[in-house]
Chain A
Amino acid sequence: MKTWAGAAALLAGMLLTGAHALAQVGPGVTDKEIKLGSWQPLSGPVSIYGVPVRAGADAYFNMINDQGGVKGRKIKFIVEDNAFNPQRTVAAARKLIGSDEVLAIAVGFGTGPSAAAFPYVLQQEKVPFVTPYAGAEDWYTPPRPGLLSAQVLYENQAAAVGRWAVKDGRKNILVIHSDPAAYHKPGESAVAAIRKADASAKVEAISVKWGTQDYAPIALDALRRAPDAIIQIAVVQEVSALAKELRQQNSQIPIYTYSPNVTQSLPLLGGAAVEGVKGVSWTVPASLDTPALKEYRAALAKYAPDQKPDFDSLLSFGFAKVVVEALRRADEPLNRATFIEGFYKLKDYDSGVLPPVTFAPDRPLGLTTLQRVVLKNGVWEAVGEPIDTTAEW
């Protein structure tokens, strides 16, 4: 009730403060163009994610532009390199909003870096920040005006993975997570979910410095604890490094991980060591032969030919698709307020890439469903039906 009242008050505030704005075309919008801004880690260690994420969104927007755009307007997608750095993200936000005058920030990458830009983007400039490749529980409790996501929270993903391990009969689970809050909090969620699913299960957690390359001592520590499953919340290089060290010691402890690592980079880096790794995915596998996936692969081949089809670019392709659909449903004149209203018109919108999304003022998270996957012969395969991470599946 309190959430409803808060959300209604926020929407009313937005509508009131934006009453004047509703009547005119917003920043970043002309008869022929819509400017959207974004930040991605295009350099540094996290660029392994940022480069394909940019490529996927670019491919979709370019495809739409070649088809005539959205209501005759071409989308100009301006991407700044934030190098996964909060200060650079704030600078990127100032440039995109202050200089480029974008309508909104879309598909921005990085939980910590993006949160650093919130005071400027959401509070000061009141610019919508939609479909981020990022997120934390406290971003949406209470909902913040203009912040809308089509991504299942990392905390919910980790909890789902923890529950999956318990359902697999694991009784002694070790959670290994990187130290920044964006990894630590999902790690805590996994621990809590395991305890909730099976009070008798033993669960321990280890925090590892982000960016660790030498996983030998961590693997030796894990072997001493002798868990029957490991849940790792870290970047793909670290999941690969741990798996290699464990398999090198002849350990076959099963490893579970969350969505960002469900990518072909994992088998590329980890080879045989990562065979059998289980994960949860935001999207359907990139190799499916559905019309939406064929469209994705064709667009990627045409607009980002150096990128192979993979989960990261598929996810951002799906995000871009949601953004374009909201733009299509937004009333004229198109501005920041009507753009957000366009999102609220998405009810069970099926992109064919992500599970169906629904937005409302009290529902800033468009979806809560994930697909379980397992790595077999170097390819991620779907396991069972999609699961609702907020339910006791």
Chain B
Amino acid sequence: MGDLPAVIASGLVSGSAYALLALGIVIIFRSTDTVNFAIGDTATLAVFLTTSAMAAGLPPAAALVLAVLIAGLAGMATERFLIRPLGAGHKSLFIALVVTIGLGLIIHAVIGVIWGQRPIVVAPVATGTVRVFGVALTLNKIIATGIALAAMAAIAWLFRFTAIGVAMRASAEDHFAARIIGIRPTVIASLAWFIGCGIAAIAAFFLAADGSANANLTLSPLFRAFAGVFLGGLTSMLGAAVGAFTIGVLDNVAGRYLSANYRDTIVFGIIVAVLFIRPSGFLGAARKERV
């Protein structure tokens, strides 16, 4: 266990991608009550679109910003044209869920048709490594971790201290009451989908730079992000991010000391145990239904 600090450090940087995806999921869920299963594919599509721009000479840092904008606008379009027409209510929540799953599959297929199945190499925002507790971590991952932490802080500040953030929280609590006091839920929803998908694009971009851009880029990380969301609490942004970082650490610890074969099983076994004791996650609020 002498290399435990190194394994934890490695887990934290791996967890940064999960944390960014988890934040995106929760922002969209809290604002529009929609679990967006297409968030990973939307982000992947944005990365693929920016690879074309990078091939034409766009620097990686600018490509990252472009990916965020593309994913954000795609998210807004999804909300406006696919989710909003479904209306509110319990039935529409389940329909929205299926719609986002379907959208994800369509985007996945479109990526395959346009870019083929061969992975595309994406240049990292920064090259080189940094040693942390004796383990070399790529600067690319370190920057992703920094951005994840900064995004968490910025989102917390936005939701707690700004008028638009308070409006988003109010709209999430009660659309009808929010409308009465002059908040336009449609604007709030668009903004939430822009931010949520944009943040997911940051995760996808760094994942692609570490490995490669391929249609399944966010498949496994999204799985872990959802685990982090439920571990931390679907209603808590801080909880979701902390949960996702925890998943990254647990995943690395399990892979290093227990079994590379059963690391998912071990991690998700722990999550099931935690949720059995605290179903709303360790920072989530128990949800009360209005009748």
- The residue of chain A having its C-beta at the shortest distance from the C-beta of B15 within the complex is A214
Contacting residue for B251 out of A179, A214, A240, CB 8 A:
A214
Which of B84-92, B257-265, B277-285 binds A? B257-265
Indicate whether A218 reaches chain B with its CB closer than 8 angstroms. Answer: yes
Contacting residue for A220 out of B135, B220, B221, B264, CB 8 A:
B135
Closest chain B CB from A193 CB (angstroms): 22
Residues of B within 8 A of A306 (CB): 116
Task: Assess the B220–A211 pair: CB atoms within 8 A.
Answer: yes
Residues of A within 8 A of B251 (CB): 214, 217
Closest chain B CB from A254 CB (angstroms): 19
With A48-B119, A268-B121, A269-B121 known as contacts, the answer to whether A209 contacts B264 (CB < 8 A) is yes
Q: Chain B, 227-256, contact with A by CB distance < 8 Å: what is the 0/1 string?
A: 000000000000000000000000111111
Indicate whether A351 reaches chain B with its CB closer than 8 angstroms. Answer: no
Q: Chain A, 44-58, contact with B by CB distance < 8 Å: what is the 0/1 string?
A: 110110110000000
- In A186-227, the 8 Å CB interface with B consists of 206-209, 211-214, 216-218, 220-221, 224
Residues of A within 8 A of B112 (CB): 43, 47
With A220-B135, A249-B135 known as contacts, the answer to whether A209 contacts B118 (CB < 8 A) is no
Closest chain A CB from B134 CB (angstroms): 9
Closest chain B CB from A210 CB (angstroms): 9
With A214-B252, A241-B211, A248-B129 known as contacts, the answer to whether A206 contacts B260 (CB < 8 A) is yes
With A43-B109, A44-B216, A220-B7 known as contacts, the answer to whether A50 contacts B117 (CB < 8 A) is yes
Residues of B within 8 A of A99 (CB): none
Task: Assess the B10–A220 pair: CB atoms within 8 A.
Answer: yes
With A214-B252, A224-B3 known as contacts, the answer to whether A179 contacts B216 (CB < 8 A) is no
Q: Chain B, 1-40, contact with A by CB distance < 8 Å: what is the 0/1 string?
A: 0010011001100100000000000000000000000000
Task: Assess the B7–A48 pair: CB atoms within 8 A.
Answer: no
- In B94-125, the 8 Å CB interface with A consists of 108-109, 112, 116-119, 121
Question: Once bound together, how far apart are the Cα atoms of A233 and B119, in whole Å?
Answer: 20
Residues of A within 8 A of B260 (CB): 206-209, 212, 217-218, 221
- In A296-310, the 8 Å CB interface with B consists of 306
- The residue of chain B having its C-beta at the shortest distance from the C-beta of A41 within the complex is B117
Residues of B within 8 A of A141 (CB): none
Task: Assess the B3–A220 pair: CB atoms within 8 A.
Answer: yes
- In B191-223, the 8 Å CB interface with A consists of 211-212, 214-216, 219-221
Residues of A within 8 A of B255 (CB): 214, 216-218, 221
Indicate whether A124 reaches chain B with its CB closer than 8 angstroms. Answer: no
Indicate whether A85 reaches chain B with its CB closer than 8 angstroms. Answer: no
Contacting residue for A269 out of B10, B119, B136, B262, CB 8 A:
B119
Residues of B within 8 A of A218 (CB): 255-256, 260
- The residue of chain A having its C-beta at the shortest distance from the C-beta of B224 within the complex is A214
- The residue of chain B having its C-beta at the shortest distance from the C-beta of A264 within the complex is B118
Instruction: Classify chain B: how many residues form its interface, as a range.
Output: 35 or more
Question: Once bound together, how far apart are the Cα atoms of A42 and B10, in whole Å?
Answer: 34
Residues of B within 8 A of A43 (CB): 108-109, 112, 117, 215
Indicate whether A67 reaches chain B with its CB closer than 8 angstroms. Answer: no
Indicate whether B138 reaches chain A with its CB closer than 8 angstroms. Answer: yes
Closest chain A CB from B23 CB (angstroms): 19
Task: Assess the B116–A51 pair: CB atoms within 8 A.
Answer: yes
- The residue of chain A having its C-beta at the shortest distance from the C-beta of B261 within the complex is A207
- The residue of chain A having its C-beta at the shortest distance from the C-beta of B13 within the complex is A216
Task: Assess the B10–A179 pair: CB atoms within 8 A.
Answer: no
Q: Chain A, 21-48, contact with B by CB distance < 8 Å: what is the 0/1 string?
A: 0000000000000000000001111011
Closest chain A CB from B256 CB (angstroms): 4
Question: Once bound together, how far apart are the Cα atoms of A179 and B110, in whole Å?
Answer: 31
With A47-B117, A48-B117, A221-B256 known as contacts, the answer to whether A237 contacts B138 (CB < 8 A) is no
- The residue of chain A having its C-beta at the shortest distance from the C-beta of B264 within the complex is A209
Closest chain A CB from B44 CB (angstroms): 13
Residues of A within 8 A of B256 (CB): 217-218, 220-221
Indicate whether A265 reaches chain B with its CB closer than 8 angstroms. Answer: yes
Residues of A within 8 A of B254 (CB): 217
Closest chain A CB from B154 CB (angstroms): 26
Task: Assess the A217–B252 pair: CB atoms within 8 A.
Answer: yes
With A51-B117, A206-B260 known as contacts, the answer to whether A248 contacts B138 (CB < 8 A) is yes
Q: Chain B, 136-148, contact with A by CB distance < 8 Å: what is the 0/1 string?
A: 1110000000000
Closest chain A CB from B223 CB (angstroms): 11
Closest chain A CB from B257 CB (angstroms): 8
Residues of B within 8 A of A44 (CB): 216
Closest chain A CB from B261 CB (angstroms): 4
Question: Once bound together, how far apart are the Cα atoms of A179 and B240, in whole Å?
Answer: 31
- The residue of chain A having its C-beta at the shortest distance from the C-beta of B217 within the complex is A213
Contacting residue for A48 out of B11, B118, B129, B259, CB 8 A:
B118
- A residues contacting B by CB (< 8 A) are 42-45, 47-48, 50-51, 179, 206-209, 211-214, 216-218, 220-221, 224, 237, 240-241, 248-250, 265, 268-269, 271, 306
Between-chain CB contacts (< 8 Å), 15 pairs = A42-B117, A43-B117, A43-B215, A45-B214, A48-B117, A51-B116, A179-B261, A206-B260, A209-B263, A217-B260, A220-B135, A248-B138, A268-B118, A268-B121, A269-B121
Nearest 8 CB-CB pairings of A with B? A217-B255, A47-B117, A217-B256, A208-B260, A207-B261, A216-B10, A217-B252, A51-B117
